[in-house]
Amino acid sequence: MKEALNNAKVVLAMKADGETIDKIEAFVRARGCDGARYKIDPSIGGGIIIYIGDKVYDGSVKGRLASVKRSV
Protein backbone atom coordinates (compact mmCIF):
# COMPACT_ATOMS: atom_id res chain seq x y z
CA MET A 1 0.00 0.00 0.00
CA LYS A 2 2.88 2.33 0.79
CA GLU A 3 4.13 2.13 -2.78
CA ALA A 4 0.62 2.86 -4.07
CA LEU A 5 0.24 5.91 -1.85
CA ASN A 6 3.64 7.31 -2.81
CA ASN A 7 3.03 7.06 -6.52
CA ALA A 8 0.48 9.25 -8.22
CA LYS A 9 -2.00 7.47 -10.41
CA VAL A 10 -2.93 9.33 -13.56
CA VAL A 11 -5.88 8.42 -15.74
CA LEU A 12 -6.13 9.81 -19.23
CA ALA A 13 -8.65 9.32 -22.00
CA MET A 14 -5.96 8.86 -24.64
CA LYS A 15 -2.18 8.80 -24.98
CA ALA A 16 -0.64 12.16 -24.16
CA ASP A 17 2.29 13.89 -25.88
CA GLY A 18 5.64 14.46 -24.21
CA GLU A 19 4.95 18.04 -23.19
CA THR A 20 1.78 17.09 -21.33
CA ILE A 21 3.59 14.23 -19.61
CA ASP A 22 6.26 16.67 -18.42
CA LYS A 23 3.59 18.95 -17.02
CA ILE A 24 1.93 16.07 -15.20
CA GLU A 25 5.25 14.86 -13.78
CA ALA A 26 6.02 18.36 -12.49
CA PHE A 27 2.55 18.60 -10.95
CA VAL A 28 2.78 15.33 -9.04
CA ARG A 29 6.40 15.86 -7.93
CA ALA A 30 5.43 19.28 -6.55
CA ARG A 31 2.95 17.39 -4.35
CA GLY A 32 5.46 15.00 -2.91
CA CYS A 33 5.22 12.04 -5.24
CA ASP A 34 8.08 9.97 -6.62
CA GLY A 35 6.45 9.54 -9.98
CA ALA A 36 3.27 8.64 -11.76
CA ARG A 37 1.67 5.52 -13.11
CA TYR A 38 -0.39 6.06 -16.23
CA LYS A 39 -3.58 4.42 -17.26
CA ILE A 40 -5.58 4.97 -20.43
CA ASP A 41 -9.32 4.83 -19.89
CA PRO A 42 -11.48 6.21 -22.72
CA SER A 43 -14.60 5.96 -20.54
CA ILE A 44 -13.66 9.20 -18.71
CA GLY A 45 -14.51 11.00 -21.93
CA GLY A 46 -11.58 13.40 -21.94
CA GLY A 47 -9.41 15.42 -19.59
CA ILE A 48 -7.45 13.94 -16.73
CA ILE A 49 -7.84 12.43 -13.26
CA ILE A 50 -4.89 12.43 -10.89
CA TYR A 51 -4.89 10.46 -7.66
CA ILE A 52 -2.29 11.54 -5.11
CA GLY A 53 -2.39 10.01 -1.67
CA ASP A 54 -5.80 10.78 -0.22
CA LYS A 55 -6.80 13.37 -2.81
CA VAL A 56 -8.34 13.18 -6.26
CA TYR A 57 -7.87 15.92 -8.81
CA ASP A 58 -10.75 15.27 -11.11
CA GLY A 59 -10.59 17.19 -14.37
CA SER A 60 -12.30 14.61 -16.53
CA VAL A 61 -15.31 15.24 -18.70
CA LYS A 62 -17.10 12.41 -16.91
CA GLY A 63 -16.38 13.90 -13.49
CA ARG A 64 -17.48 17.38 -14.51
CA LEU A 65 -20.70 16.03 -15.97
CA ALA A 66 -21.32 14.20 -12.69
CA SER A 67 -20.82 17.42 -10.73
CA VAL A 68 -23.23 19.23 -13.06
CA LYS A 69 -25.71 16.42 -12.48
CA ARG A 70 -25.29 16.71 -8.72
CA SER A 71 -25.99 20.42 -8.67
CA VAL A 72 -28.95 20.55 -11.07
Partner 1 sequence: MIDVNAIGKNLREKIANINVAADKRPCGRILYSGDGVLKIAGLRDVKYNELLEIEGGYRALALNLEQDSVGAVLFEGDDKVSYGNLAFSTGETVHMRVGEELLGRVVDPLGEPLDGMGALTTEKMRPVEFPAPAIMDRGKVNKPLQTGILAIDSMIPIGRGQRELIIGDRQTGKTAIAVDTILNQKGEDVICIYVSIGQKASSLAKIVSTLRENGAMGYTCVVCSTADDAVPLQYLAPYSGCALAEYFMYQGKDVLIVYDDLSKHAVAYRTMSLLLKRPSGREAYPGDVFYLHSRLLERAAKLSEEKGGGSITALPIVETLAGDISAYIPTNVISITDGQIYLESELFNSGVRPAVNVGLSVSRVGGSAQCKAIRQISGQLRVSLAQYRELAIFMQFGSDLDAETQKTLSRGMKMTDTLKQRQYLNYSVREMIVLLLVSGSDLVDKIPEKKMITYNEGLLDYLRTNRADLLAEIDPNAGISEELRKKVLDAAEQYVNVTVGDDGVQDEEEHAEEGQGEEENFAKA
Residues of this chain that bind partner 1 (CB under 8 A): 1, 4-5, 47-48, 51, 53-59, 63-64, 67-68, 71-72
CB of 18 to partner 1, least distance (A): 22
Q: How far is the CB of 12 from partner 1 (least distance, A)?
A: 13
Task: Judge residue 21's burial from the number of C-beta atoms within 10 Å of its C-beta, 0-12 exposed, 13-18 middle, 19 or more buried.
Answer: middle
Q: Which of 5, 40 has the CB closer to partner 1? A: 5
